[in-house]
Structure 1
Amino acid sequence: MENFDLVVRGQIVLEDEVVYGEIGVQNGKIHAIEKETNLLQGTKVLDFGKSYVFPGIIDVHVHCFSNPNEGFIPTSSSAAAGGVTTFLDMPYDLPNPVNNVEQFESKVKQLEEEAIVDICLWGTISKTGGTDQIAKLAEAGAVAFKMSTFETDAYRFPRIPDPEIMRAMEMIRETGLVAAFHSENDEIIVDLIDQYKKENKVYPRAHMETRPPVTETSAVLKLLEFAYWTGVKLHIVHVSHPRTIDLINLFKKQGVQVTSETCYPYLLLDINDLEKHGPRAKNNPPLRNPEDVGGLWRRLQNGDIELISSDHAPWGLEHKEKGNDNIFLSASGMPGLEIIAPLIFDSGVAKGKLTPLEFAKLMAQHPAEVFQIPGKGKIAVDYDADFTVIDPEKSWIVDETKFRSYSKLSPFDGCKVQGKVVQTIVRGTTVYDGNEVIVKPGFGNFVPGKAYHQALVGRA
């Protein structure tokens, strides 16, 4: 009988069924799956009993460097503690966004020295004149391209003009990668915020009132039409309103290759939480009305939303408390890597809204499929031995002071959660043992995008 490096036992969540079985791991890869136990021998055996062994969770929407106080070590430590085995880091870094190949290669080097878990990197383009970098970034290993129709910062996080979007979409289509967008209507939002400030309407709810649903849906509609004519693979990030999903479904029927994600706050919080918590619950797009949250859940359960992400944005108190008396002065976004998996397990699986199989697809399989990440997202032979182990019987309390992120503030602080991450395994190695992160920075790998592999084949 073959002796494996590692045997993992528990409630194994496969693509189409949950079995009480075991997995044989050799050299960081899955080599055998048995639907019974005590059939495989291992140098090391981890028996998780009734705990679920999920495919390693993938978070596609993370901002390590929007706040330079954060970076790869705190973020990837948070990921490990939250059961996230791979994440995709956004390109809107301070001081310089990742819109050229030199910046990208420098970031890869830092990643390889500092990562705790595996990481893919997004690329972006400058406001104008940057499309010449698309092919180079794709070949260097960018997993996808992120752009915005809303301007946070003209240099770091610009609004890309329509002609440039069209050019970028055509070029990204040629790489085979995904063009993803922060989709909000800049003109309407800026006008409304100016109006509200003049009238001194700066209470928390004003953040939603100046970003009504039409600011999301109108921006998405334009991008869907652009994708129809260019043939690019389009991905809409952080969907906050169910009508956005309805528009996406209309265009799917017309043959547009489009996918979407929502984020855990849009499923678990609503406008009342923004009023209660103020800047802690401020994100872009904003939290919506309770009926909109219900609409997102229904579409999620119908299979109309491909995946859930965190949009991890690690702002400190100094960036948030500016908005205590004027919501417009606060930074937008909240941390999420350490809590997204257990919170979605709690609200979905534990409460009967999602099956374990649906949870695995939303949190692992679909992220890997949408972003074409080879060897990840499923428990299958020859895939990476990435596992997120959640004990459904353990409950715990969210304590923001213990976050590994620089950002130690969350509207979920004090919430009781049913389901605890008891182990995180990356390529057959335990990176989090249920209490501590136990690998050193540099263990995590850079995971290049699909075009990188194609470029290698072309050069061979």
Structure 2
Amino acid sequence: MDLVIRNAKVVSKEVTEVLDVGVRNGKVVKIGKIDGMASKEIDASGKFLLPGVIDVHTHIEQLSGDNLTCDDFSDATYAAAVGGTTSILTFVIQQKGKSPLESVSEKMVSAKEKMYIDYGFHIAFTDVNERTIAEIPELVNMGIKSIKVFMAFENSNLMVSDYDLIKLMEESRKYGALVGVHAENEDICVNATENLKEEGFTTLEHYYKSRPEIAELEATNRAITFAEDIDCPVYIFHLTSSKALSKIEEAQQRGVDVIAETCPHYLLLDKEEFESDDAYLKVMSPPLREKKDQDALWKAIKAGAIKIISTDHCPYTPEQKAVGKNNFTTIAPGIPGIQTLLPLIYSKGVASGKISINKMVEVLSYNPAQIFNLNNKGEVKVGYDADFVIFNPDTKQVIDKDYLKMKSGYSPFAGLELKGKVETTVLRGKIIYDQGKFVGQKGKGIYINRK
């Protein structure tokens, strides 16, 4: 065998067992007691062997309005690998006047030579018409089986109408594509923002009021209503609030195929962050909510109503963010997070007793692979890609400048001490990060055709 990992606590969504895992030609070929030698052996006694994390919500090399995210595909996937992520899905935003296929082709060319880990794409439709909708079958054939729709951000040329959303759902249903939504009611957000501006309340402590909970509640319910009527699944990106969650749970109980994700910042941070001196570094959309919402989200993860935790990695430098330091209407919304997903959820979810390590594997690896058709990934299983993380639960690390590899140079969780540490990341049988040393190769990440 090429690689044997011995005596590891191998974690699946159901159980944790001490086992050996053998790898040949990038695939898992044996799990159990393995005799004999391999080209490379690792003794993982006392450590967890986790399937590689799959981050399905990232914005890399993305232009939103006048704001270009600060990292490219190599920067982002380098940091991801350090944090135990071995596959990502990232967005292609269709630019006005371009076809979705044209937009995808440009992103593929840029990504091919830069990726350190495996990758796939979502397509975000912004210009919906008969010609662009007709490209859905070809997109699906290319393995791009997920379509995002923004129900907000009209001024940024991202928002589509309800008519267009319905048309996309109808067409996607025919070809087995999954439509996901950024669920915020544009009119509610615009009205709230205009009211705050008239009163002179545009500093960051007022930001969360500009995109109130009711905006997410209404848009989530509207997307569910369309999906239920059309009889198609719908994916809710970055769920933040207990009220919107209640609509999802009600729909799931009725048998509606509504899938929800949330993000570490909504689980661990709240609106009080907008009163801090570095509040400008913590502005994203939708905004942070209240502690009660955090509690509801954790409970929904444990119960299975929320299927995925992802990062919504949308990084800008502090200098880019500082443009809106004193006025939330001019800030670039988005925060970095691609490196810290696994460490945060283990430390603040598993080690703190909110969820089991098996549930963590389910929402970070297994469910992302199943829901988004990442074949042969998401599990430590014979025949599957040998994407692993060796995780030491008995060490600690601090999120500081020495730890962070993200090009943004900061994290909204800066200074936080975490329990547990990624020691080794393995991609298709090859070690790409080990004991603080990065040994991966740029361009070795493979495009995942999800058809």
Give the TM bin, normalised by the shorter chain: over 0.9
Shift of 1:307: 0.9
Indicate the larger mover: 166-175 or 323-332: 323-332
Find the partner of 2:29 among 28, 31, 37: 31
Matched with 1:241 is 241
Q: Counterparts of 2:43 and 2:98 in 1: how far apart (Å)?
A: 42
Shift of 1:137: 1.6
Cα 1:97–1:398 shift into 2, 3 Å:
farther
Deviations 1:387-419 (A, max 9, x none): 122110110110146533221122211111111
Query: Secondary structure in 2 aligned to 1:442?
Result: coil
Shift of 1:47: 1.5
Matched with 1:228 is 228
Q: CA RMSD in A?
A: 1.8
Find the partner of 2:147 among 145, 148, 170: 145
Q: Does 1:22 align with 2:20?
A: yes
Matched with 1:282 is 283
Shift of 1:138: 1.6
Pairwise mapping of residues 104-123 of structure 1 onto structure 2 (< 5 A)? 104-123=104-123
Shift of 1:42: 1.6
Matched with 1:436 is 437
Shift of 1:141: 2.2
Shift of 1:285: 0.7
Indicate the larger mover: 430-439 or 101-110: 101-110
Q: Is the 8 A contact 2:139 2:145 kept in 1?
A: no
Query: Secondary structure in 2 aligned to 1:365?
Result: helix
Q: Is the 8 A contact 2:146 2:178 kept in 1?
A: yes
Q: Does 1:369 align with 2:370?
A: yes
Aligned residues: 442
Deviations 1:292-317 (A, max 9, x none): 11111122222211010000011111
Query: Secondary structure in 1 aligned to 2:134?
Result: helix
Cα 1:84–1:152 shift into 2, 3 Å:
farther
Pairwise mapping of residues 88-167 of structure 1 onto structure 2 (< 5 A)? 88-92=89-93, 100-129=100-129, 130-151=132-153, 153-155=155-157, 158-167=158-167
Pairwise mapping of residues 47-446 of structure 1 onto structure 2 (< 5 A)? 47-66=43-62, 67-92=68-93, 100-129=100-129, 130-151=132-153, 153-155=155-157, 158-276=158-276, 277-400=278-401, 403-446=404-447
Shift of 1:6: 0.8
Q: Is the 8 A contact 1:269 1:287 kept in 2?
A: yes
Shift of 1:40: 5.3
Report the identity percentage.
Answer: 29
Letter in 2 for 1:235: Y
Cα 1:349–1:202 shift into 2, 3 Å:
same
Find the partner of 2:4 among 7, 21, 40: 7
Letter in 2 for 1:136: E
Shift of 1:153: 5.0
Matched with 2:65 is none
Query: Secondary structure in 2 aligned to 1:24?
Result: strand
Q: Counterparts of 1:264 and 1:397 in 2: how far apart (Å)?
A: 16
Q: Is the 8 A contact 2:60 2:76 kept in 1?
A: yes
Q: Counterparts of 1:106 and 1:323 in 2: how far apart (Å)?
A: 30
Q: Is the 8 A contact 1:99 1:126 kept in 2?
A: no
Q: Counterparts of 2:300 and 2:89 in 1: how far apart (Å)?
A: 24
Q: Counterparts of 1:126 and 1:204 in 2: how far apart (Å)?
A: 29
Deviations 1:154-211 (A, max 9, x none): 44xx111111111100111112121111000000101111111121101223111121
Q: Is the 8 A contact 1:12 1:20 kept in 2?
A: yes
Q: Counterparts of 1:399 and 1:96 in 2: how far apart (Å)?
A: 39
Q: Counterparts of 2:175 and 2:156 in 1: how far apart (Å)?
A: 26
Letter in 1 for 2:136: I
Letter in 2 for 1:120: G
Q: Is the 8 A contact 2:93 2:126 kept in 1?
A: no
Find the partner of 1:41 among 37, 47, 51: 37
Q: Counterparts of 1:68 and 1:243 in 2: how far apart (Å)?
A: 31
TM-score, L = length of structure 2: 0.94
Cα 1:426–1:272 shift into 2, 3 Å:
same
Q: Counterparts of 2:36 and 2:93 in 1: how far apart (Å)?
A: 46
Cα 1:40–1:281 shift into 2, 3 Å:
farther
Cα 1:373–1:236 shift into 2, 3 Å:
same
Q: Counterparts of 1:117 and 1:430 in 2: how far apart (Å)?
A: 11
Q: Counterparts of 1:331 and 1:267 in 2: how far apart (Å)?
A: 22
Indicate the larger mover: 365-374 or 133-142: 133-142
Shift of 1:250: 1.5
Letter in 2 for 1:23: V
Letter in 1 for 2:137: A
Q: Is the 8 A contact 1:125 1:134 kept in 2?
A: no
Q: Counterparts of 2:379 and 2:360 in 1: how far apart (Å)?
A: 12
Q: Is the 8 A contact 1:310 1:337 kept in 2?
A: yes
What runs of 5+ residues in structure 1 fail to find an aligned partner? 451-460
Cα 1:12–1:165 shift into 2, 3 Å:
same
Cα 1:303–1:338 shift into 2, 3 Å:
same
Q: Is the 8 A contact 1:116 1:441 kept in 2?
A: yes
Letter in 2 for 1:17: V
Q: Counterparts of 2:402 and 2:381 in 1: how far apart (Å)?
A: 37
Letter in 1 for 2:295: G
